[in-house]
A and B are shown apart, each in its own frame.
Chain A
Amino acid sequence: MLSCRQIVDQASDYLEHDVSFSQRLQFRIHLLMCHHCRRFIRQFSAAMQMTRCLSKTPVSQAQIDAVLHRIDPPEQ
């Protein structure tokens, strides 16, 4: 029987289907019996989806031009 601590530690692997059939079964049995862990997995899954949508670092044309000028400086 998995403990709640193990559920938390293995949550990423479980949600990404990176566990064996037997591990998955043990996980599901624990979730059936533990409403705290059901809530944790639901909220952790939502958090994973939300954080995947964080914005990427914006890039300006000036930054790109700076590279091109360093590599191939304009003639004076």
Chain B
Amino acid sequence: MLQGDKASFNRIVEVYYGPMLGLARSIVGMAIADEVVQEAWLSVYKALPKFEGRSSLKTWILRITANEAKSRLRRESRHLSLEAISGGETDVMAGRFQNNGHWSLPPSAWHDDGPDALLTNVEMGDCIEHSLSRLPALQQAVFTLKELEGYSFEALCNILEISASNARVLLHRARISLYAKIEHFQESGEC
């Protein structure tokens, strides 16, 4: 491929376009994710002769995509709050505990609390996907890479250029937000 093998490059585009689009969508949103991926591919193509193999090709390509998406987000979102970009400080569980740390509003019993039962609820699945798309950019990016693409913390930190401790905090916040949304759906039947 480094020698300009067109067929190999075509194959790489086919294999990695999906993960790149998922990552770009998590950072910049669906509307401009495709543009970001297209630009990222041009950057990948130009930089390919300089690829040194210090990380896997996929990690290297996704890091270029993440950088392209973050630059685009900075340009597009001068009017957005830092919170919306950086991962957010919103604590969806705030107000559910007493001062001594015990529950004041404990978790309600769900109608379905097994993963299989939750998965078969199509409306709730749509609701959770929508909620994921509303999370702050970095929370979404960490969640997408870890939970949907199956990356290790080490690899996703390399792609997003964040520390492991930061990644763990962002992932936990994303999970808690989605948990709270499922709980709300279970209680009200509404998204």
- Which chain A residues (29-52) contact chain B, with CB distance < 8 Å? 36-37, 39-40, 42-44, 46-52
A68-B13 in contact (CB<8A): yes
In this complex, how many residues of chain B approach chain A with their Cβ under 8 Å: the count is: 51
- Minimal Cβ-Cβ distance residue in B for A41: B107
A51-B147 in contact (CB<8A): yes
Residues of A in contact with B, size category: 35 or more
Q: Which residues of B contact A70 (CB under 8 A)?
A: 38, 41-42
Segment of B68-76, B81-89, B110-118, B154-162 in the binding face: B110-118
Which of B22, B102, B178 lies in contact with A47, CB distance below 8 A? B178
Interface presence of B103 (CB below 8 A)? yes
Interface SS of chain B: helix
- How far is B178's CA from A13's CA once the two chains are assembled, in angstroms? 17
With A12-B168, A43-B113, A43-B183 in contact, do A66 and B100 touch (Cβ < 8 Å)?
A: no
A40-B107, A71-B42 known; 20 other A-B pairs, CB under 8 Å?
A3-B97, A4-B97, A5-B97, A11-B176, A12-B168, A42-B113, A46-B114, A46-B118, A50-B128, A50-B182, A51-B132, A51-B175, A52-B147, A52-B148, A53-B115, A53-B119, A57-B22, A63-B37, A67-B41, A71-B41
Q: Could you name 8 residue pairs across A and B whose Cβ atoms are closer than 8 Å? A: A5-B102, A18-B168, A36-B106, A46-B118, A47-B182, A51-B178, A57-B25, A59-B21
A residues engaging B (CB < 8 A)?
A: 3-6, 8-9, 11-13, 18, 36-37, 39-40, 42-44, 46-59, 63-64, 66-68, 70-72
